[in-house]
Amino acid sequence: MENNTIQQQTEQPAAYVYTPDQLLQNWLGHRRVTRRLIEAFPEDALFNYSIGGMRPFADMAKEIISMSGPGVRGVVTDDWTPIAGLDHHTGKITATTKAELLQLWDNATEVITNYWPQISLQRFQEKVVAFGQYEGLVNSTLQYIVDNEIHHRGQGYVYLRALGIEPPAFYDRS
């Protein structure tokens, strides 16, 4: 009798909780909430207000923008911009108005949705070195990018509340 245990293990698809499309839809829901958060900021406060030494929310949004689209593109192409070369580190994101920042946000979302269908189910379980220095599986890399957005959005919620502005409902991802 032939021992085919290893062969059977490698032929089985990886277990997952979300399908790739469900993961994408979850992320896009978060992006819609974060976009509404940007919209809720008064123009001046978006670029200048901070608490406790944290960056203004526009700078946090620029970080999210420069990691999200390039992150998904890197997953697909395995051509990663080094972290120091990302636009939020180099100053290439020059948005100075809310409208410009929202346009960059929408452009990044378009990059995500255009590249996402090219990620195979197997790719989510493959190792990458994201942004030239973060080694891990594709699924954990993508989850980090989503978690980073949620983390910074939480900081934005604190800013809006400190400004006396009701932030958008975090649970309304429509």
pLDDT tens digit sequence for 71-102: 999 999 999 988 887 878 787 888 999 999 99
Longest alpha-carbon distance in the chain = 74
- DSSP string across 113-145: HHHGGG--TGGGGSEEEETTTEEEEHHHHHHHH
Please tell me the number of Cα atoms within 13 Å of 8 on its side-chain side: 4
The domain spans of the chain are 24-162
Identify the residue whose tokens are 């911009």.
81
Residue 152 among known ligand-binding residues: yes
Contact (Cβ atoms closer than 8 angstroms) between residue 71 and residue 142 = yes
Close Cβ partners of 30 (under 8 Å, ≥ 6 residues apart): 146, 149, 150, 153, 173
With bands split at pLDDT 50, 70 and 90, how would you rate the model's confidence at 16?
Answer: low
Q: What is the pLDDT, as a whole number, of residue 11? A: 55
Comparing CA positions, the residue from 80, 39, 82, 88 lying closest to residue 64 is 88
> How much of the chain, in percent, has pLDDT values that exceed 90?
82
- Global model pTM greater than 0.85: yes
Which is more confidently placed, 123 or 15? 123
Of 3.30.56.10, 1.20.120.450, 1.10.10.10, 3.10.180.10, the CATH number of 24-162 is 1.20.120.450
pLDDT in tens, 100-113: 999 999 999 999 99
